[in-house]
Structure 1
Amino acid sequence: MKGQGGFTLIELMIVVAIIGVLAAIAIPQYQNYVAKSQVSRVMSETGQLRTAVETCILEGRLAAADCDTGATDSNLLDGNAVTIAFPLTTQATIIGNFGGNASAAIADNQLTWTRDVDGSWACATDVDAAFRPTGCAAAAGGGGGGGGGAGNS
């Protein structure tokens, strides 16, 4: 006689337990990966505005009405917009406040590009070190505020 083929209840329970353990490890790692990639994306999106801001400074177009940066909306930013501190001077600030569709781990943080008087740009962010991209330093004082008198471009 031939025995019935199939899985026993114990075998099925073991498979379910293994899948549960793998999911418990994989899901948090995936969420960390998503948050880190979102910070890198905002760093790139805001970093691209440096050229436009630099051009406005060099051409003397320092007011918001005179300087069209060509910034587009981002669903990872609060209010979908990047903030640029106007009027521009030899020092400038580009701020991206995380919000919108950003991961909960970074939703209340910000990323800032700052231009010094020598024309060098530096990136700083107050996101957790686990999510901070290479080339973007920790924000002084742990983040928050930035750019009084700022206006959206």
Structure 2
Amino acid sequence: MSHGQKGFTLIELMIVVAIIGILAAIAIPQYQDYTARSQVTRVVSELNSLRSGAEAAILQGRTIVSADTPGVGEEDLGWTTSNLVDGTGKAQVDVQNGGTATPTVAVELGGDAGANVAGVTITLSRNANGAWTCGMTGGTAAQGWKNSYAPTACPHS
């Protein structure tokens, strides 16, 4: 009476490990791209949420600021804090031309953002007709930036 062999042979185990290695080699870069894209999209969304406050301030003739204690004639945009943006608190947002009908609001990715998107600046600009445009600058292929990380409505230049 012979006993049948039970368990896996060494070659079968090596094949399984090789298959897992191949799958991981494909999945890890895809996951990193997904993470970078979602971080950029999240910050664009956070920045876009400030547009209604900016519009209200413009209609009331106030100067747009990002400050804990806005002065007389100033309107705070309402930014809280994002862990994906450089700086802390209200200082994370850079407001230019806040007292005009054509303000610019910008943030720079950093903090907990991935290394491949850190240093990218996202800018919202309003033209005199009231249309807002979004754009991105910074980020290089050498650091891992890919233009596919930018949402269609906020292209990278």
Smaller-chain TM-score range?
0.7 to 0.9
Question: Is contact 1:73-1:82 (8 Å) kept?
Answer: no
Residue equivalent to 2:47: 46
| Aligned position for 2:143 | none
Partner of 1:84: 95
Distance 1:63 1:104, change over 3 A: closer
Deviation at 1:2, TM superposition (A): 2.0
User: Shift in Å at residue 84 of structure 1?
Assistant: 1.9
Which of 94, 102, 114 aligns to 2:105? It is: 94
Whether 2:76 is the aligned partner of 1:68: answer yes
Distance 1:116 1:93 in 2: 9
Q: Deviations over 1:97-140 (max 9, x none)?
A: 0000111111011111000111100000135311010211233x
Segments of structure 2 that go 5 or more residues without pairing to the other structure are: 140-145
Q: Distance in 2 between matches of 1:33 and 1:47?
A: 21
Structure 1 residue aligned with 2:129 = 118
* Amino acid of the structure 1 residue aligned with 2:129: D
Instruction: Assess if the C-alpha contact under 8 Å between 2:126 and 2:133 holds in 1.
Output: yes
TM-score, normalised by the number of residues in structure 2? 0.83
Aligned counterpart, 1:146: none
Q: For each residue in 1:41-99, what CA deviation from the matched residue of structure 2 results, as whole angstroms up to 9, or x when unmatched? A: 11100001011111111111115322121111000001142222253311111112000
Aligned residue pairs total 139
Q: Which runs of 5+ in 1 are unaligned?
A: 140-153
Distance 2:39 2:61 in 1: 33
